[in-house]
Amino acid sequence: MIKQTLDEWRDEARERFGNKGVDWKFVCPSCGNVQSPQDFIDSGCSEAEAARLAYQGCIGRLAHAGMKVEAKSCNWSAYGFLGTMGKGRIVITPDSQEVEVFDFAQEAEA
């Protein structure tokens, strides 16, 4: 798995998807759904929630919470017991915590 610092991760995201964080795209390691924070906002999340959720859990989790979800999705989370099953990334925070996150979506899927 790719392991990178938070700054490196942000730089790569900007390079791939641009400066607007709501447009960054992540792929669910379980069902393959491609999602951005914007999708979470469209389902009714606040911008802060959306930014946090989009790389940590499949948008299908919102459906379980009773929110509207259009995408074919599941309820996988990167912070669950199985993490991302080796398909995600590890981001090292400024205080040296290692956080497992969903991988970036490939451009073709976007």
Q: Contact residues for Zn ion (CB under 5 A)? A: 28, 30-31, 33, 58, 73-74, 76
102 contacts 28 by C-beta, under 8 angstroms = yes
- Decide: helix, strand or coil at residue 81: coil
Looking at the Cβ atoms of 18 and 82, the one nearer to Zn ion is 82
CA distances from 71 to 31, 42, 48, 62, 106 (A): 11, 11, 21, 11, 17
Q: Which CB atom, from 33 or from 38, has the smaller least distance to Zn ion?
A: 33
Could you tell me the smallest distance in angstroms from the CB atom of residue 80 to Zn ion? 12
Min CB(94)–Zn ion separation in Å: 29
Q: Would you say 38 or 60 has its CB closer to Zn ion?
A: 60
Cβ 77 to Zn ion, closest distance in Å?
9
What value does the CA radius of gyration of the chain take, rounded to a whole number of Å? 13
Q: In this complex, which beta carbon is closest to Zn ion, that of residue 13 or of residue 27?
A: 27
CB of 45 to Zn ion, least distance (A): 16
d(CA 101, CA 18): 19
Q: How far is CA 48 from the centre of its chain?
A: 13
